[in-house]
A and B are shown apart, each in its own frame.
Chain A
């Protein structure tokens, strides 16, 4: 009974969205420049976010799972903080650090004249900040559950540290790694609060799909609804494809 309640609660809003959306506007909207810009920016930034997570998040997850060093639990706790942080707060924190008068951003501006806010880089930074914890937790879990035993065997067989990581550790953790990618990607695609607070909102540079939906909500609710449906379809399609190929539940 509670299970049914939860299922209904999760499904009804999505059904309402699908039923309530003027489907006929879908193609016209997809043809407009604003929507295509927002889709492109969402696609680019979410892909870049996953890339950054894989490149720097994987080593961090490995460190947390496999290396015993002082302060490990403190580091793990710190890494998880953005997970529970309200996104708007994340945006404010990023602006304090990387805004053009921020702790780091101010120095950067003095040295190079570069500023981060209002650029696509800012969008990716905001997304990576909120998505990274999801990725690191998923991958750390995978590294943990595969165990260090296989690594030790590989090492006794003469494999170096890098070879062991590449040929043994990574393949074993692959399902967890892909799940982490899917989580990070979904989080990035839906990210709104940190983005609009830190990166701003301009079509063609920083306006992602959620920002465009929020903007349209103040103008034309029907358009906002149709755009929401597009985003829903994209998410379901991509997650469906990933599930088919990699995340098959036994």
Chain B
């Protein structure tokens, strides 16, 4: 008897989970929800843009998911329930386009360059990018699959840095966190991350950083549930107001 009750309970829980998923997919009425997948480096700016969008559209709830661009592009292709995708470079967006996830194609909305950050007070006494080659300096970068890792690797090569990083982090915010916590002596992040971290880190310019400018594209996903809201959000990002928010955070104009 008890066993049967337990089984019934499992079924009820499973069924409950399924219906609630169904509700999610069909929520077009009051309290509409817009889901935006955005690169980790967009954490601060897109949070601000989402607030602005919610203010302009009362009753609308913008949900944000930040991760590595490669992860998000993969999720978008797998049909993740989301409306908008914004990545930190064109090749991860191209992967989403190739996977038929962005039918109308992307638009570039910002640019970014990389910089070297050290913990506040610069405990390892790093004064130039070349110091990464000094023995005993532990620096961290992104994995090569993430845009920050790809550009980071080519900047390291361009500056003939031969030493290996101490760790390959999965996204740029993980690199920033390791440096801000003084677990690493230095890390390669975007200038916008250095701006966002404020006094927790100090920036050191990377020679030739300007030769590797990242283009940030945004696009509406194939599985969009709120097409009008999605278009509105993209329009806000591309508007003068959106540009101003992005420029304040250190992003460049495409």
Contacts and interface: CB of A to CB of B under 8 A. Distances in A.
Contacts of B70: 218-219
28 contacts: A1-B7, A2-B3, A2-B6, A2-B10, A95-B181, A99-B183, A100-B182, A100-B183, A101-B181, A115-B138, A118-B138, A118-B166, A118-B184, A200-B168, A200-B178, A201-B169, A202-B164, A202-B167, A206-B167, A207-B168, A215-B143, A215-B145, A216-B145, A218-B71, A218-B143, A218-B146, A219-B144, A219-B145
A168 to B, nearest CB: 41
B105 interface: no
Contacts, number: 62
A219 B168 CA distance: 14
Interface in A68-111: 95, 99-101
Contacts of B81: none
Contacts of B164: 202
A176 interface: no
A3 to B, nearest CB: 10
A133 interface: no
Contacts of A201: 143, 167-170
A195 B144 CA distance: 19
A117 B183 contact: yes
Q: How large is the interface on A (under 10, 10 to 19, 20 to 34, 35 or more residues)?
A: 20 to 34
Interface in B232-246: none
B55 to A, nearest CB: 34
A134 to B, nearest CB: 26
A7 to B, nearest CB: 14
B116 to A, nearest CB: 18
A214 interface: yes
Contacts of B184: 118
Interface of B: 3, 6-7, 10, 68, 70-71, 74, 138, 140, 143-146, 164-170, 178, 181-184
A1 B10 CA distance: 12
Residues of A contacting B: mostly: loop
Given A99-B183, A202-B165, A215 B140 contact: no
Interface in A215-242: 215-219, 221
Contact of A202 (B3, B145, B166, B181): B166
A117 B181 CA distance: 13
Nearest to B144: A219
Nearest to A2: B7
A117 B140 CA distance: 12
Contacts of B143: 201, 215, 218
B39 to A, nearest CB: 12
Contacts of B10: 2, 5
Contacts of B182: 100-101
B3 to A, nearest CB: 7
A1, A117, A200, A218: which has the most chain B beta carbons within 10 Å? A218
Q: 4 smallest A-B Cβ distances: which pairs? A: A200-B167, A219-B145, A118-B166, A218-B70
A95 B183 contact: yes
A146 B138 CA distance: 51
A219 B183 CA distance: 27
B188 to A, nearest CB: 14
Contacts of B6: 2
B167 A118 contact: yes
Contacts of A200: 140, 166-169, 178
A217 B74 CA distance: 9
A122 to B, nearest CB: 10
A99 B181 contact: yes
Contacts of A217: 71, 74
B170 to A, nearest CB: 7
Of the candidates A115, A196, A200, A215, the one having the most CB atoms from chain B within 10 angstroms of its own CB is A200
Nearest to A101: B182
Nearest to B67: A218
Given A1-B7, A2-B3, A200-B140, A101 B183 contact: yes
Nearest to A99: B183
Contacts of A99: 181, 183
Contacts of A206: 167
